[in-house]
Amino acid sequence: MNDDFTILKSRQLNHDVSHLLRPDMKAIVPDNPRLRPHPYYLDWHRTNCFKAA
C-alpha cells in the first residue's frame, strides 16, 4: 500500500483479485488519522517484504 493508501499489486500475486478491490484501487481507512496505517510502517513493509509488479 502506498502512503496515499493506493493498493499496490505484487508480482508474486498468482490470481486476479481485482474483484476484491475498489475501482479506484484505494484502501478503505478510518477517518481518524491516528487510526490509519503509519507511513513509517507502510514504507518498512514495502522495502522489506513487498515485491512490486
| Phi–psi pair at 35, nearest 5 degrees | -100, 0
Three-class secondary structure of residue 28 per DSSP: coil
State the cell numbers at 5.
493508501
Instruction: Flag whether pLDDT at 31 surpasses 60.
Output: yes
User: Which of the four pLDDT bands, split at 50, 70 and 90, describes residue 10?
Assistant: confident
Instruction: Flag whether pLDDT at 12 surpasses 80.
Output: no
**Residue 50: its pLDDT value, please?**
80
**Residue 13: its pLDDT value, please?**
76
pTM: 0.70
Asked if residue 53 lies in contact with residue 7, where contact means CB atoms within 8 angstroms, the answer is no
Average the pLDDT over 14-27 and give the result: 84
